[in-house]
Amino acid sequence: MSSLSIRRWSWIHKWSSLVATSFMLLLCLTGLPLIYHHEIGHLLGNDVEAPALAPAVAPELAAAPPRANVDAVIGAARALYPNKLVMYISQEIDEPAIWNVTLGDTPTDEHYKPIAVDARTARVITEPAFEGGAFMSTMFRLHVDLFAGLYGKLFLGLMGLLLIVAIVSGVVLYAPFMRKLEFGTVRRERSARLKWLDLHNLLGIVTLVWALVVGATGMVNTWADLLLKVWQATEIAAMLEPYRGAAPPTQRASMDAAIKLAESAAPGMRVAFVAFPGTPFASPHHYGIYMRGSEAFSSRLYKPVLIDAQTGQITDQRALPRYLTALLISQPLHFGDYGGAPMKLLWALLDIATIIVLGSGLYLWVQRGRAARRHLQAVAQAREKAAPVLAHEGEGP
C-alpha cells in the first residue's frame, strides 16, 4: 500500500472514529446493563424497598389447570381500569403462564398501563414496571433514542454507520502496521502511548467481528419505526383494501375464539401478541394476531393473521417481508439474546473490551495532540534561543 493510500485511510479512520467514539462509548456503557436487564430486574425486584419493580412471575399451582378463557383474562385486567381500552395482549416465549394486557385511554396511548394476568386462572398478578425501574428505563432510552424519539434513533443509526467505516478503515491500516510486529505484541517497555496503541490495535482486532455485528444490527434497529411505516403503508394496506370506507365494528367477536382460530390456521406456532382495532399493528376493523415459532430462531419471526373484529373470521395472513425479517433477527442478536447465559457473558466481555478500545482511541488522540503541541513549543523555543546568535553573527566584525 502506498504512503498516499495509508494517509487517506488514516484520515478516514481518524475522523470517523472521532465523530462516532463519544456516542459509541455511551451506547456500550448503556448497553452493558441492558444485556442483563432480566437479571437486574429480578435483583431490584427482590429488594424489600422496591417490591413493585419485580417482573411478573406466575404463581406455582398444585396442578396444571387448562388455559383460562382469554376473554376472562382481559376482563380481569379491565376490572382494574374499566374506563380504559385494551391495546394489546402478549405472552413472553419463556413465560406462557402469563398474559400481559396493555390498557390505554386511546388505541395509541403512550402512557399505557401494563397488567400481568395469570393465563391459567385469569387472576391479576401485578402491574409490572419496566424491569429495573427508573435506572433501566433511563439506560434503555439513552441506548435507543437519546430521549429524542425518531430523530435520536436516526442519529444513532448514522453513528453506527460511522463505526462500521472506522472498523473497516482500521482493518486496512492494521495490516501494514503489523508487518513489523508479531500478532498480539504489546510493547510494554516503550512509552505509555505506544503500549496503549498496541493494546488498542490488539483489542480492536479481537472484537472486530462482534463490533461489526453489533454495529450493523444496531443500525438496522434504528430504522425500526420507518420500516414499520413502510410495511403498514404497503403490505397491511393491501390486506385492508376490502375494508376501505367501511364503518368500524359496533361489537367485537370473542378474543378467545379468534386466538383459537389463528392457532388452527398456523399449526406449530404460538401467539406472540395481539393488536386490538385502532392500534398501529392492526386496523380499525381487525384483530392483528401475530404468531411465532417455538424454536430459538423461529420465535423471533412473526406471522400476522388478520381477523375481522366483528365476524371473528380470518380475512388474510401472510409472511413478513424480508426487511422486517432482518429487523426481527437483528434485535435479539444485538443484545445477545439467542444463546442464554453463556452468550450474554460473551456479549458483556466483548462490550467491555470495546469500551477499552474506544477509550484508548480517545486517549491516543489526546496524547498525539499533546505531543504535537510539545513539538511545536520545542521548535519555537529553539528558534527563540537561536535568534540572538544569528543576529549577532549577522552584525559582522
* pLDDT tens digits along 356-385: 888 887 777 777 666 666 666 766 666 676
Domain count, the chain: 1
Name the region of 132 (left: φ>0; alpha: ψ -120 to 50; beta: rest): left
Q: How far, in Å, CA of 290 to CA of 297, rounded?
A: 16
CB atoms within 10 A of CB 109: 15
State which residues of the chain have pLDDT below 70.
1-4, 41-65, 128-133, 175-202, 296-298, 338-339, 368-376, 378-383, 385-397
Q: Distance between alpha carbon 222 and the CA centroid of its chain, in Å?
A: 8
Position 51 in a domain: no
Cell (9 digits) for 387: 535568534
Cα→Cα distances 101→50, 57, 116, 203, 249, Å: 22, 14, 6, 45, 22
- Would you state the torsion angle of the CA atoms of residues 295, 298, 302, 307, taken in this order, to the nearest 10 degrees? -60
Count CA atoms closer than 13 A to 164's CA, side-chain side. Answer: 14
Q: 89 and 68 in contact (C-beta within 8 Å)? A: no
CA distance 96 to 90: 9
Res 104: pLDDT = 94
DSSP state of 307: E
Q: Which three three-digit cell numbers place residue 294?
A: 417455538
Claim: this prediction has a pTM higher than 0.75: no
**Structure confidence by residue, pLDDT tens digits, 298-309:** 677 788 899 999
Give the separation between CA 354 and CA 20, rounded to whole angstroms.
13
Find out whether 111 and 71 touch, Cβ atoms under 8 Å.
no
| Lookup result for grid cell 406455582 | 60
Angle formed by the axes of helices 224-231 and 149-177, nearest 10°? 120
Residue 276: inside a domain? no
Contact yes or no for 344/227 (Cβ under 8 A): no
pLDDT of residue 253: 95
- Domain assignment present for residue 45? The answer is no
Query: How far is 188 from 3, CA to CA, in rounded Å?
Result: 28
**Which residue bears the cell 473497516?**
168
The per-residue pLDDT for 50 is 33
Residue 78 in any domain: the answer is: yes
pLDDT of residue 354: 86
Cell of 291: 404468531
**Is residue 176 one of the residues assigned to a domain?**
no
The answer to the question of residue 118 being in a domain is: yes
pLDDT tens-digit series, residues 103-160: 999 998 888 899 999 999 999 988 765 555 678 888 888 999 999 988 999 999 999 9
Instruction: Give pairs for 311-319: CB < 8 Å, separation 24+.
Output: 311/253, 312/253, 312/254, 312/257, 312/258, 312/261, 313/261, 314/261, 314/262, 314/265, 315/239, 315/242, 315/286, 316/239, 317/265, 317/266, 318/235, 318/239
Question: Is residue 75 a part of any domain in this protein?
Answer: yes
Identify whether 375 is part of a domain: no
Domain that holds residue 121: 56-127
pLDDT of residue 46: 42
Q: Which residues contact 36 (CB under 8 A, 6 or more apart)?
A: 344, 348
